[in-house]
Structures are given as C-alpha cells and as structure tokens.
Amino acid sequence: MTTVLVVDDTPDMATLMEKAMEGEGYDVLVACDGRRALQAAKANPPDAILLDIMMPRMSGLEVLCCLKEDPALRAIPVILVTAKSEDGDVIVGLNAGAHDYVTKPFKKEILAARVRSAVRVKQNHDTLLQLNKQLREETAERERVQFELAQAKKLESIGHLAAGIAHEINTPTQYVGDNIRFLKDVFADMDTLLGRFDCLLQAAKQDTLTDQLLADVEAAVREADVDFLAGEVPKAIGQSLEGIERVANIVRAMKEFSHPGNGHKQAIDLNRAIQSTLTVSRSEWKYVADLETDFAQDLPLVTCLPGDVNQAVLNLLVNAAQAIADVVGDGSRGKGTLTIRTRRDGDWAEIHIEDTGTGIPENIRDHVFNHFFTTKEVGKGTGQGLTIARSIVVEKHGGTLTFETEVGRGTSFVIRLPIAEPADPSSAEDRRLADSIC
C-alpha cells in the first residue's frame, strides 16, 4: 500500500493533511517534528513526504538535507508545506532537491494532485530500479552463457587441433627415432673398430705389432666405413636436435595458446601470441596455404586477455583456411596465401588476417557476425567462430573487428585492440544515472 509521511508540528494542520491523505486511500504516518520524521522515514520509507518548513529545533529544510544525504531515503519525493511568506525558503528547498510545494491554507484537491504526482515519480523510480536490477541479472546471465560458450568453443578448438598437433609432433619424433636407431647401429660398428684400435695400441706398446693385426684393423676401418660415418653422424645429431626443438616449440605454443589465464588483462607480446596460435593451428592451413607474416617490430606490449585473443585469432585463421580450401581444394594443384600482419596505429594495435579465398558474397556480409549463422554444410560449422571473435574483441576489449572482401579474390579481417586498457565507461555512466534519478 502507498504510504505518505506527514510532518508538521501543528496538530490541527497535521490532522488535516492526514485526513486528506487517508481520503485518497493512502496509508499515513504522522511525525510532529524533524527528528521523529527522520526516524519514521528510516524505519518505514514512505512513497512521499509532506514536510512543514517552519518547525522548532529542526527545520523542514534541515530534514530535507538529511533525507537527500541518505542513499536509502534520497529518492523519496518531498513536498514542502509553506506559508505564503516563505517563498525564499521554497526556492532554497527546491534547489536542495524538494519535489514540489504547497502553501497554507491549501485546497484538498490541489494537495491530493501534487501528492499523486510525487507518488508516480517514486513508483517510476522504483520500477526503474527493479528493471535495472533485472537488466543487470540478465546481463550477468548472458555473460555467463557467453563465457561458457567461449570455453566450449575453446575446448572444441583444442580437440579439433589435437589430431593435427599430434601429426606435427609425430613427424619430428619419427626422424629423431630413426636417427637414434642409426646412431645405435653406428655405435655397434664403432665399438668393434675401437676394440681393434685397442689391440693395435697394446701391440705397439709391447712391440708385438704384426702384419696380420694391421690388416685386421684396416678391414675393420673399411667395414665401419669411417668416411661415411664422419659425414652422416653429425647430420643425424643435427636433425635430432632440430626435431627436439620443433617438438618443444609446438608444446610451448600449445601451452601458451591454451593457458586459461587468471581472468585479468595482462600486457603481452602480441606478435609472439600470434606466432603460438599459428604454430598450434599449422595443420589447419599448411596443406592449402602458404603463410606470409609481417610482424611490426615497434609494437609495444598490449594489455589484453591472452587466452581470449588467441581464441579470436584462431577462429579467424580457421575461417581463412576454410575459405582458401573452398578455392584450392586439398592444395594438391597449388595453394593459396594466408597473410598475417601486425601494425601500430597510435594507441591501437592492429592484426590483419588476409586470405585468397572465395570472398564473402554481398548478400550475407551483414550477417557474418550473427549467432549460429553459417554457409557451411551441416556438421562442418556451428556459426560461432566469427561471433565469438567479435565478442572477444569488441565487448571484452573495447576494440573493433571489421573486414574488407571481394568475391573471387579473398577477405581481410582487421582486429583493432587498444594497447593500454581503456577506462571503464560503464561505472561512470551508472553513477551519472543514479545521480539523475535522485
């Protein structure tokens, strides 16, 4: 039920206003001075207050100031009840935040109309607060769903990349294994040869060297093919070291790509992050595209969510590789070109991902970032890659994701990220909205 607080130190006037408000169907509280009025308002916040200005000990203007300083009470509309000679106080009260005023003696109909207006303001305020609360809850839920969707997409990406990464690791480990087996066989031959040399050394020390022993040593040298081993063993060792380094690079890139982070933005080397993503996604593009990179050396550390930016870049890389594959097939008759560039543009870092794919038809260009929109066959795409990439870049980082395309020639996506974390405009806007409501 709507509640009105009547504050007046004159009993007759207080009773008159009380009866008038009860006649309008309001639940009425009455306070005979300012202190009791504040106590009553805090105990049971009313929907409107009729406040006499001239009261002993604590004036109505002092009560008004106390109400407006209390966050829990400042939104309650206050109607000043004044004598005709108190125009100056009315101006002060309105400037201090009073909603309206009536003069004594008043007409009941005018008093009722002004209270109704004040009550509507309070009800609209309460409705706005409730809607704002619901909006925040819905936004939080939406962000939770988006986070879970992004995590699911990331797990899907890692699972999809797993076979390719396994192949990338298997190739160097295979020739490392082959080289180690070669070195094992070589060592057996060398062990025999070293045994012959030991016999030769002992005979030389004891002055018992014979032609037969020399012939045996010469035969062992020929059998071991020392000249061949001198050329091939260093190659085998070098190839093995390269293979181990290749595996280490893949593992390091996978670790950097899939690291969940701590939920806070960090200053990172964007070029290195992109290189890691290229490494883990190599199996996605190497069969259909030649890679060209042009990383800006003057690019400073960029403050971002590393895992999310990696995911956005991966989504665009996969999208580019698929567009190229639509043109070149499996790449057996020639490949397309995938070009990755980074640039600094003032306070912004740019990532350009360019492909020589099919291009985007004009009739679907306005829909490519829409949820679940895809032109791929069922089972070959969820329509979430570009949507998630845009959400990461725009919503989480305050950046932009745009593209230029030409059918038959390819597409260039451009990610723009602020180099330093921008100030959060939402908190300032919330404070401005709260102040305007009060």
Out of 53, 85, 106, a domain closes at: 106
Q: Are residues 293 and 176 in the same domain?
A: no
pLDDT at residue 299 tops 60? yes
Which CATH number characterizes residue 97's domain?
Answer: 3.40.50.2300
Q: What is the pLDDT of residues 143-157, one digit of tens each?
A: 788 777 766 766 666
Question: Is the alpha carbon torsion for 398, 404, 410, 412 positive or negative?
Answer: negative
The confidence band for 7, taking pLDDT boundaries of 50, 70 and 90, is very high
Q: Are residues 232 and 362 in the same domain?
A: no
Q: So what's the pLDDT on residue 75?
A: 92
Q: Are residues 229 and 320 in the same domain?
A: no
Q: Are residues 419 and 287 in the same domain?
A: yes
Q: Are residues 274 and 377 in the same domain?
A: yes
The reply to whether 113 falls in a domain is no
Across the strands, what pairs with 5?
Answer: 29, 49
Q: Are residues 61 and 96 in the same domain?
A: yes
The residues near 141 (Cβ < 8 Å, ≥ 6 apart) are: none
Q: Are residues 52 and 194 in the same domain?
A: no
Q: What is the pLDDT of residues 383-438, one digit of tens each?
A: 577 888 898 999 889 999 999 999 999 999 999 999 987 655 444 444 444 444 44
CB 10 within 8 A of CB 55: no
Nearest-angstrom CA–CA distance, 318 and 154: 13
Most confident stretch, 80-89, 167-176, 413-422: 413-422
Q: What is the DSSP letter of 80?
A: E
Q: Is 52 helix (H, G, I), strand (E, B) or coil?
A: strand
Q: How many domains does the chain have?
A: 3
Out of 241, 258, 275, a domain closes at: 258
Q: What is the pLDDT of residues 40-56, one digit of tens each?
A: 999 999 999 999 998 98
Which CATH number characterizes residue 313's domain?
Answer: 3.30.565.10
Nearest-angstrom CA–CA distance, 135 and 123: 18
The reply to whether 303 falls in a domain is yes
The residues near 351 (Cβ < 8 Å, ≥ 6 apart) are: 270, 274, 313, 340, 341, 342, 414, 415, 417
- Residue span of the structural domain in which 201 resides: 143-258
Q: What is the pLDDT of residues 216-246, one digit of tens each?
A: 888 888 887 888 888 888 888 888 888 888 7
Q: So what's the pLDDT on residue 327?
A: 93
What pTM did the predictor assign?
Answer: 0.53
Supply 418's token pair. Answer: 């602020």
Considering only 189-193, 233-237, 266-270, 399-403, which range has the smallest mean pLDDT? 189-193
Out of 57, 86, 106, a domain closes at: 106
